[in-house]
């Protein structure tokens, strides 16, 4: 019952927040200079008042801003995000098309980041101030500070172009047709089709962009795991456990890691939220048709409905992830559950 109340409260909070985000983004997009008519119509078409009037009428741009807002909110309450000014298609359809590609890549990246980040963090904490610790810290600092577009070009150049180990840009090799859409995630859809080679091919295409995207979050997770583990290791209950003769590995895995992981979960959640928002440059270099590219094109075209749609999606990502992280806190630490 308590759990249901918690989820109910969260959902209500979610709806209010989304309306707030929609209002805020709507106001901001209307405040910034930029006219979608100028951005989307050609120079020649702009000279024809009839074409300009038809275009403005078609996209509701001829209405006063306040009327546009109420129409937008009314449509939003009916789960209608409007029609993209740039593509002339429903924004919801556009997001449904490109979001699965981003989810697939983000999930792959966050798994790499979490596994390697926690592993490196543990190594670094156990071997504090050793050469191994220095190496791990150097890797994490590099991961956090390396510009993703440059890293993307670098890994593509070496691992695809020079060493020929990993496949190049795109989601599938030329010999495979895209799987029938069920989830929109090629690995899963290929498995649903029962096509293992296609699923492996799709998975192999995730490696390079996934690694590039993982680098930043992995660096953060490593550093957070290391510092929290070191803090926990210096507490009294660990000293007691040590005095009872517990081995180092058992001590870390059974007693220290659980407590050290709570802040790490927050970092993983934020990292996933960040990745689900789409990464324009990495998506462009790896020819990945995700939310980042869609958002970029929408901004260039001053496509208000799409910009607001992407903003809502990002807000929703963070809210859902935060809720999941809160629930996971409870699972890891019973004190949170009690509170």
Window 90-129: residues binding other proteins (CB under 8 A): 97-98, 115-116, 119, 123, 126
- Give the per-residue contact string, 11-40, with other proteins (x = CB under 8 A; - = no): ---------------------xxxxx-xx-
- Measured from the CB atom, the residue of 11 and 27 that comes closer to other proteins is 27
Determine the Cα–Cα distance for residues 88 and 298; give it in Å rounded to an integer.
12
Q: Does position 286 bind other proteins by CB under 8 A? A: yes
Q: Does position 66 bind other proteins by CB under 8 A? A: no
Determine the Cα–Cα distance for residues 113 and 215; give it in Å rounded to an integer.
7
Q: Which of 68, 124, 224, 293 binds other proteins (CB under 8 A)?
A: 293
* Partner residues linked to 83 by β-bridges: 90
CB of 210 to other proteins, least distance (A): 10
Which region, judged by CB under 8 A, interacts with other proteins, from 22-30, 227-235, 292-300, 307-315? Answer: 292-300
SS3 state of residue 87: coil
Which region, judged by CB under 8 A, interacts with other proteins, from 67-75, 162-170, 215-223, 312-320? Answer: 162-170
Per-residue DSSP letter, 90? B
- Measured from the CB atom, the residue of 16 and 57 that comes closer to other proteins is 57
Sequence-ordered list of residues with C-beta below 8 angstroms from that of 280, at least 6 positions apart, any chain = 292, 293, 295, 296
Which region, judged by CB under 8 A, interacts with other proteins, from 42-50, 60-68, 70-78, 221-229? Answer: 42-50
Q: Does position 207 bind other proteins by CB under 8 A? A: yes
Determine the Cα–Cα distance for residues 79 and 27; give it in Å rounded to an integer.
20
Name which of 184, 19, 199, 12 is nearest 106 in CA terms: 184
CB of 201 to other proteins, least distance (A): 6
Q: Which of 104, 155, 171, 308 binds other proteins (CB under 8 A)?
A: 171
Per-residue DSSP letter, 166? S
Q: Does position 45 bind other proteins by CB under 8 A? A: yes
Name residues contacting other proteins, limited to 208-247 (CB under 8 A). none
Determine the Cα–Cα distance for residues 106 and 274; give it in Å rounded to an integer.
9
Do 108 and 193 form a contact (C-beta atoms < 8 A)? no
At 90, give phi and psi (nearest 5°): -60, 135
Q: Which of 24, 77, 200, 253 binds other proteins (CB under 8 A)?
A: 200
Q: Which of 71, 135, 146, 203 binds other proteins (CB under 8 A)?
A: 203
Q: Does position 160 bind other proteins by CB under 8 A? A: yes
SS3 state of residue 239: helix
CB of 43 to other proteins, least distance (A): 7
Per-residue DSSP letter, 64? -
Sequence-ordered list of residues with C-beta below 8 angstroms from that of 102, at least 6 positions apart, any chain = 275, 276, 278, 283, 288, 290, 291, 292
């Amino acid at each position: 019952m308590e759990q249901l109340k918690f989820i109910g409260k969260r959902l209500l909070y979610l709806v209010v927040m989304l309306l707030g985000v929609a209002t805020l983004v709507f106001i901001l997009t209307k405040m910034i200079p930029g006219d979608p008519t100028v951005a989307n119509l050609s120079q020649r078409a702009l000279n024809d008042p009839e074409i300009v009037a038809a275009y403005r009428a078609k996209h509701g741009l001829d209405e006063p801003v306040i009327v546009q807002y109420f129409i937008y909110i009314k449509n939003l309450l009916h789960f209608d995000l409007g029609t993209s000014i740039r593509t002339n298609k429903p924004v919801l359809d556009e997001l449904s098309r490109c979001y699965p590609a981003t989810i697939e890549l983000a999930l792959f990246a966050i798994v790499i980041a979490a596994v390697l980040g926690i592993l490196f963090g543990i190594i670094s904490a156990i071997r504090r101030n050793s050469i191994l610790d220095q190496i791990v810290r150097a890797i994490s600092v590099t991961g956090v500070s390396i510009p993703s577009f440059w890293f993307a070009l670098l890994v593509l150049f070496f691992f695809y172009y020079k060493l020929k180990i990993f496949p190049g840009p795109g989601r599938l090799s030329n010999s495979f047709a895209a799987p029938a859409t069920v989830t929109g995630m090629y690995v899963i859809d290929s498995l649903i089709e029962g096509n293992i080679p296609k699923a492996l091919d799709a998975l192999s295409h995730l490696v390079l962009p996934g690694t590039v995207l993982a680098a930043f979050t992995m660096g953060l997770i490593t550093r957070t795991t290391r510092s929290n583990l070191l803090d926990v290791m210096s507490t009294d209950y660990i000293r007691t456990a040590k005095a009872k003769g517990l081995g180092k590995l058992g001590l870390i895995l059974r007693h220290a890691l659980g407590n050290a992981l709570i802040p790490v979960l927050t970092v993983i959640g934020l990292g996933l939220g960040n990745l689900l928002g789409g990464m324009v440059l990495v998506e462009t270099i790896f020819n990945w048709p995700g939310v980042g590219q869609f958002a970029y094109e929408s901004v260039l075209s001053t496509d208000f409905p799409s910009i607001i749609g992407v903003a809502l999606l990002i807000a929703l990502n963070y809210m859902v992830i935060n809720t999941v992280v809160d629930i996971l806190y409870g699972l890891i630490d019973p004190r949170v559950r009690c509170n």
